[in-house]
Structure 1
């Protein structure tokens, strides 16, 4: 059984029991990856090591000089 078939079966069962439908597969993938990345960066800071990723990411936004 693939993911789509399982999702359709879960949706059918939820309707039969009057429960809300489950989220569609892949609906929260972007949020999960972002949370994982932030957790990894946070643990690196706590351990005193370098923050993983490109060096400019740890700098944050720099203010632009006013004209």
Structure 2
């Protein structure tokens, strides 16, 4: 059973009982992702790290090291 089937079953049960219908799956995904991003930024500031640009900084560090040769891998 996928999320849509579960939603339809829950919606049917809510209608039978006269309860409020549950929210649709995926309706609040963007809000959850924004809150998670804000939480990670807050944790970074509290621990003394940069709040913005950490992914780009990590990518820049990786690119500065240069490519690994296949002979040295493994």
* TM-score between the two structures when normalised by the length of structure 1: 0.75
Q: Work out whether residues 7 and 25 of structure 1, in 8 Å CA contact, stay in contact via their aligned partners in 2.
A: yes
Q: Any stretches of 5+ residues in structure 1 without a counterpart?
A: 55-67
* TM-score between the two structures when normalised by the length of structure 2: 0.68
What pairs with 1:2-41 in structure 2 (closer than 5 Å)? 2-41=2-41
Q: Secondary structure in 2 aligned to 1:14?
A: helix
Structure 1 Cα separation of the partners of residues 15 and 39 of structure 2: 36
Q: CA deviation at 1:51?
A: 1.3
- Name the count of aligned residue pairs: 54
Q: Secondary structure in 2 aligned to 1:44?
A: helix
Q: CA deviation at 1:43?
A: 0.6
Q: Work out whether residues 44 and 52 of structure 1, in 8 Å CA contact, stay in contact via their aligned partners in 2.
A: no
CA RMSD of aligned residues (A): 1.2
